[in-house]
Structures are given as C-alpha cells and as structure tokens.
Copies of this chain bind each other. A is one copy, B any other.
Amino acid sequence: MNARSPEALVRDTGRRNEAVILNAALEAFGTRGFNGASMRDVAKGAGTSLSNLYNYFPSKSKLLAAVLRHANDELQHRVLRAVEEAGDDAPSQLREAVRAHVGFVVDHQVATLVATNEVRYLEPDDRTALVSHRDATQATFERIIDQGAADGAFRTPYARDAARAILSAVAAIASWYRRDGALSRGQLAEQYARYALALLEGPLPR
C-alpha cells in the first residue's frame, strides 16, 4: 500500500447508476468547468443517455450540489478521524489534520478543484448549505489553533485568521500537483504540516 490509485470519489449509493453519474459529473465539471461542461458531456462520460440523468438529479445545478456534498463529506471524515487519532496537544493535532487534508487533496485532486472553483454556480440555498458545511471543517482547524494559542504552543499574534491562510495553501495544491512530479504524497504532507506549524510560530521538529 505505497502508491494509492486515483480512486473514484463516490463509491456506491443505493441507486443503480448514481455513483457512475456522480463521478462522470465530477470529471466533466473538473475538466471543462461547470458552465463549460454540458449535461450531454456528463451523460457520455457516464455511458448513459441524456434524459436518464434527470431520473437521478432534477437539474444540472443539483447534480453539482450532490458532487460537492460527497467531496465535502469525505474531506471532513478524513480530517476528523486524523484529529481523533492524534495526541492531545495542539501541535500534534494540527500536524495530523494538515497531513490528512493534504492527503485528500492529492487523492481527490479534481474534486478539490471543483469544490473551490465551482461552488459559486450553485443555487443560493445549496451554496449556503455547502459553505456552512465547509466552515465546519475549517472550524476544526480553528479550534486546534485556538487551543494551541491559549496554552502557548502557537505564538503567532494572528491566531484567529491563520487557519484560512493554511487551508488556502493546502487547497491550492490541487492546482499544481502532478502525480509524476518530484514530490510524493508523503513528502507533500510532511512539507505542508511543517509550513503550518512554522506559520503559527509553533514548535518544529529537530
């Protein structure tokens, strides 16, 4: 288990072709953008007919919403699990949270890109729902940082805003990372974990 394959984001749902459609939509929205990709593109990618898409999702916009919800669920799950398995101190927790986040970005690069670039095309209701869900993940980082700032581990004067800077940099990995590049998944995670701790003016290994 050294090199992860680019697994599909959505594995299975109750319905026959829902996962196939969702993954095809992710692919289409990722490569051509939400407005650049047509429902016909999605149908072709999913190997089904145009009209059949509407048996699963009532509109293109709702399809995007579903894709983004799956991506967000997976991210949040990974981060929460990483924090649970980390030690009690803020630096360890932050380190593992960042590593998990970087892992998600690398494993689901396209999903990360779509999540950051295409959210604004959601209908207002779906967008606010998704944003608040995303804020919940960000709050996990903020909570850790607050704790670390309170007990003196992080000495940055800007603890309140640092999470945004860290998460921005991590998410942006999706826009330049190449699987065949010089940096491995593990190296990247290590690198950004150190960036985060340093930015917070916290304790650094060695």
Residues A165 and B201 in contact, CB atoms below 8 Å apart: no
Q: Tell which of B33, B164, B192, B204 touches A165, judged by Cβ atoms closer than 8 Å.
A: B192
Residues B158 and A33 in contact, CB atoms below 8 Å apart: no
Contact partners of A121 in chain B: CB under 8 A: 33, 36
Q: When chains A and B are docked, how far (Å) is the Cα of A181 from the Cα of B84?
A: 34
Copies in the complex: 2
Contact partners of A57 in chain B: CB under 8 A: none
CB distance from A106 to the nearest CB of B (A): 14
Contact partners of A169 in chain B: CB under 8 A: 165-166, 168-169, 172
A115-135 interface mask toward B, CB cutoff 8 Å, 1 = contact, 0 = none? Answer: 011001100000000000000
Contact partners of A86 in chain B: CB under 8 A: none
Please list the residues of chain A having a beta carbon within 8 angstroms of any beta carbon in chain B: 33-36, 116-117, 120-121, 156-158, 161-162, 164-166, 168-169, 171-173, 175-176, 183, 191-192, 194-195, 198-201, 204
